[in-house]
Amino acid sequence: MPRGRYSLHDPHDHTPLGEEHFHCAPGPSGWRYVSQRTTPSGDHAGSVDLALDELGRPIRLELHAAAWQVRGAALDGVTWVRTDPSGTHATEGNVRAHAFAGGSPAFLVATSRLLRLTPQSPTTRVRLVTFTDPVLAPRTIDQSWSLLKSEAHATDNGPLIVDEYQVSALDTGEQHNIHIAGDVVLAAPGIELESLESPPSTFPVP
């Protein structure tokens, strides 16, 4: 069960946004990621609880940030309920999308798991509903993903397979690369892996 810490920063001006302390693990029904987020000063900033089924679809999502809460799942696309800080009003949303996205590294692992690309796969388009920090406002985005290469790196625990993806935002054309090993993001815009107590878990080869 990988357990570690990511540092988060603004991908454009590198302003520190805080840290995400996480643990994750594959299980008999898929994969689960749980984390607590802190501000740069160390105060609690929110949490992420994401569970995927064996196909990589989100079967449960729970986000907390700035007293806002979102609960969601894959249902007729993706469906969610967002609750305001007072708890008196809740709004429900549904979009014909493939999965969820957001500021947590968990969503990058989840999308890569859903797509299951190989270096021979064509560039694949995916529609996601992202929840923007800090008020978890929903927004539908379209991306294209391609797996550029998979490389084995020698470690004390045996070879570690690192996948390099190119992700493009279809509305702006902006491209960036992300590096994922198993169920851990090694590097991505705005995300740095600072510590990892155990090796990443591996998923079955598609």
* pLDDT bucket at 155, cuts 50 / 70 / 90: confident
Query: Is position 143 within any domain?
Result: yes
Query: Is position 14 within any domain?
Result: yes
Eight-class DSSP state of 43: -
Residue type, 147: L
**Listed residue (34, 74, 70, 68) closest to 53, CA to CA:** 74
Query: What does the pLDDT read at residue 188?
Result: 97
**Listed residue (183, 191, 189) closest to 163, CA to CA:** 183
Supply 131's token pair.
């929840």
Task: Give the alpha-carbon dihedral of 84, 59, 51, 139, to 10 degrees.
Answer: -50
Collapsed DSSP state (helix, strand, coil) of residue 114:
helix
Q: What whole-number distance in Å separates Cα of residue 169 and Cα of residue 106?
A: 18
- pLDDT higher than 70, residue 14: yes
Q: What is the pLDDT of residues 76-112, one digit of tens each?
A: 999 999 998 877 889 999 999 999 999 999 999 999 9
Count other C-beta atoms under 10 Å from residue 155's C-beta.
Answer: 10
Query: Is position 206 within any domain?
Result: no
Query: Is position 204 within any domain?
Result: no
**Listed residue (86, 94, 98, 103) closest to 46, CA to CA:** 103
pTM over 0.85: yes
- C-alpha to C-alpha distances, 85 to 44, 45, 88, 102, 147, nearest whole angstrom: 16, 14, 8, 19, 40
**Listed residue (65, 66, 32, 37) closest to 49, CA to CA:** 32
Q: What is the pLDDT of residues 26-64, one digit of tens each?
A: 977 899 999 999 999 999 999 999 999 999 999 999 999
Query: Is position 205 within any domain?
Result: no
Strands (E), 28-136: 30-38, 44-52, 58-65, 68-74, 78-83, 90-95, 99-102, 124-132
Query: Is position 83 within any domain?
Result: yes
Query: Is position 124 within any domain?
Result: yes
Domain region containing 156: 3-198
pLDDT-above-70 percentage for the chain: 99
Query: Is position 25 within any domain?
Result: yes
Q: What whole-number distance in Å separates Cα of residue 10 and Cα of residue 13?
A: 6
Count other C-beta atoms under 10 Å from residue 124's C-beta.
Answer: 16
**Domain total for the chain?**
1
